[in-house]
Every structure is written in C-alpha cells, then in structure tokens.
Structure 1
C-alpha cells in the first residue's frame, strides 16, 4: 500500500478492498484521486475520493448487491461514509454508479479532472499502475471542464444569490474558483486549501478579506466571521464570482488564441 495514504484512513481502505474480494474479477483497477493523491488530505474536510474502473456494465441486480456491500461497509467502518467512489466501465467510460455521502446512486460520470489526476497522480489500490491506464484525457479536456465550470456551473450558482448567505457556499465558491484559476493560468490541479493560500498572495488587495473568511470557515468555523454582517459578505462573494469568472474566461481566450497561432 502507498505510504502517501494517511494512516487514519488505512483501516477504511483496507476494509473496502476486503469487501470487494469476491468482485475483483469485475474490476480493471481501483485508484485514489482527489486530495489524497494531491498530498493535501484534511481530516474533517476532505473526502476519500476513489475511481473504480469496471469490466463492462453492471446489471440492476448487481447494482443492488453492490449497494448492500457499501451499506455493510459503512456499518463496519463509519469513516467509509466519507468515501466518494465513482464506478465507471473503462471501455465505454459511460455513466454508471457512484457511492457518495453514504448513498449508492446512478448515474456517475468520469470528468476530465478526475481522469487527469488519476492517470498522472493517482494512487493504485488494485490493478495496473495509473500511468498505464488507457484514459484518453488531455490537458485541453481539463481546460474545457474548467470552462464549463465557469460558464455553466458557477454562472448558475451566481444566479441563486441566496446560496451565498451560507458559510458552506462562501467557502466552496471561493476555494473552488481559486483552484480553477490555478488550472487555467498555471497548468496545475491543486487542493482547495493550497489554492486559498496561493491566491491570497496573488489577488488584488480587495479579495484578501474574503479569502481569509473562506479559510476561517474551512479551518476555524468556531471563530467569528471577519465580516460585519452576512449581507456584506454575500455581496463580496458574488462580486468575487464575477471577477474570477471574467479573469478565467479571459485567460482561456488567450490560451485559445495562442493555440490557433501555433497551429
């Protein structure tokens, strides 16, 4: 087992692999991605992100059986509720199933960021080394995923302004947009806390209080807010969303122009 796996998670991962013993023939490979693979797992904040590549499609009956396996696993190892496991047929890379927040549901989707981290930084639990996997993902695919996040996902969230009354959405939006800008401008996928620290030193002074607030929510939620009231904080968060989306969009356009000029 890889030494980069936090020791506190090892019993959960061992129990998961043991629960799959009779199913091993159905898997191409199982890999850790996300914060663990990035060397940035945070107790109490991070999920245990797993990508499981399966042979062919599962029947509805097999889905039920596997859901029962997960339910039993959570009872034996409560920490396994933190597992965010995506099950994808390798050949089709089509929607299959996901175990998240203690629930086994469909559909699941293999996005470019997940595939990139798995192939380049993933930790093998079962199967061949991740670098040898036939995952057809390029950095352009990752950038296209970032574009979707900016133009669709976060544009949609910005239209639901009430969300940013709540701590969770303030922290998640600020940290995630910092991650997106790191991918677009620096060509690197990093964890949320690393992104908050990095961009605090790079953004204009205006945004430092908001980044500090996001850090407080993530790491010191019992401490009082740095803002006088939630209305002010919500307005600043929405303004930051507009700023980060515009900055990311301009960087993507510049990258596209450079690519066209080279070709």
Structure 2
C-alpha cells in the first residue's frame, strides 16, 4: 500500500525530532491511533519520549524545529507534540514540554491520552507505549473524566458566547458523548462513534449533522440567527448531560 501524505509527514517528523533532542520513542494517539483520522481536518497528536529533561535551549531548538517543519510541510499545520522525559513518564500529573497551536508551553499528558496510547498507540520510532508507559491506576481515568467535566466543561456552559464558535459545539458534544461511554462501559470511542452515541442520547439532530458535516463532509453556511440557535441548543444539551453524568456518580 502506497504511503499517504500523512505517513510521509509523520516519518519525517520522527526523524527531525531525533536530530533535535535525544529521543527514545515517538508515538501517535488521538484519531491516528483510534482509526478515525481525517486528513486535513484531524489533529496529528504525537508524544515523544526524551532521554533527559529539556532546558531553555532545548525548548528554543524544538520551537525552531517545529516552525521550520511547518514551513516545509503545510500538512503539519495541525501537528501537536508533547515531550515526556523518560524518568518522569510514570508521573501522571507532571507537566511536559508541548508544541501546540504554534507555540511551546508546558502541560500534563492526560489519563485519556495515556489510555489511548496503551490501547492502540501508533509507534513511529522506538519501543511501543506498552513497553514504557505504566498502566493507569484503578479509577484514574474515570476520576479525570469527571473532574474535566465538572471543572472545565460545566463552567464553559455558563459562557454563552463561546458556543457561537464551531470548535466549542464540536468538542462540547463529542467530549460529553465520549465521557458518558467511558464512564458507563469502561472503553474509549472515536469521534465517529461519539456522533452515533449523541443520536442515542437525544442530542438535537441538526446539531449532530452539523458536526458530522464539518468532520466528514462539507458543512452548510450558517446565518447569524442559525448560529445563535445552534449555540443555545448545544450549550443546553451539554449542560444537562454533564449534570446528569455527575449526578449518576453520587446516586
């Protein structure tokens, strides 16, 4: 089977990383690992395991590498990568140097990402995730999901203007559906599977179709009124769903 443009970008990136910093492994997670990747629409979610902690000079070198790589590979516009130090890989709450949205910053690698890697991470270089990543502790994934819903997404439903934007509608509904399935069944699902789950949950059909079209087809243009109406319905559905999901834990 011929290599795709994405395959070539990933292969070249894995090589560029190894020239920039001492690298143990490079893995892909997200839609790349779960089998729902959409070229030009999905993010390229990557993890690099590095041998030693990265200092300020390393961060500058990585930022320059990413910027040059983006200039040479337009298909890498959605490429994000966190750099986990091998000796700190078991520390679930630790911050790791990350390139995303055109800048370098620090953030944790979440339990959801860790579980994606353990279940089906794509190995681009080095040993596979199951040889380096420790398994999650019992309840760790579920606790993270509930905390994310309660501390991030529920407050976000109190900010109406956010929901006028496509990204908040897309992520809000998909995160909710995926959270519900993981908490209910103990498994991770793709965004495509989450869309089917949203229909079962009674999400507004036109909003679900809008999300589907943006990911898999071609969305229809929206008027200002249509966008406002979508925002009201999407925000209300997510808010109700989060409250119901959190209440189920307490009952």
Question: What is the TM-score normalised by the length of structure 1?
Answer: 0.84
User: Alpha-carbon deviations, 1:208-231, whole Å to 9, x = none?
Assistant: 333223323434454145997333
SS across alignment from 2:45: strand
Partner Cα distance (1:207, 1:113) in 2: 27
Partner Cα distance (2:159, 2:174) in 1: 18
1:203 matched to 2:201: yes
- 1:236 matched to which residue of 2? 233
Gaps of 5+ in 2: none
**1:29 touches 1:127 (CA, 8 Å); kept in 2?**
yes
- 1:218 matched to which residue of 2? 215
User: Alpha-carbon deviations, 1:143-174, whole Å to 9, x = none?
Assistant: 11211221011112112111112233222211
**2:23 touches 2:49 (CA, 8 Å); kept in 1?**
yes
Counting only pairs closer than 5 Å after superposition, residues 89-128 of structure 1 correspond to structure 2 as 89-92=85-88, 93=91, 94-101=94-101, 103-128=102-127
Partner Cα distance (1:47, 1:57) in 2: 26
Partner Cα distance (2:3, 2:155) in 1: 35
CA-CA distance at 1:6 after TM superposition: 7.3
| Number of residue pairs aligned between Structure 1 and Structure 2 | 247
**2:20 touches 2:65 (CA, 8 Å); kept in 1?**
no
Instruction: Considering Cα pairs closer than 8 Å and 6+ residues apart, tell me whether 1 or 2 has the greater RCO.
Output: 2
1:199–1:139 distance in 2 versus 1, CA, 3 Å? farther
Partner Cα distance (2:129, 2:241) in 1: 32
- 2:167 matched to which residue of 1? 168
1:95–1:210 distance in 2 versus 1, CA, 3 Å? same
Give the root-mean-square deviation of aligned CA atoms: 2.5
Partner Cα distance (1:157, 1:95) in 2: 23
Match among 6, 17, 20 for residue 17 of structure 2: 20
1:182–1:226 distance in 2 versus 1, CA, 3 Å? farther
Match among 35, 39, 47 for residue 51 of structure 1: 47
Partner Cα distance (2:110, 2:62) in 1: 23
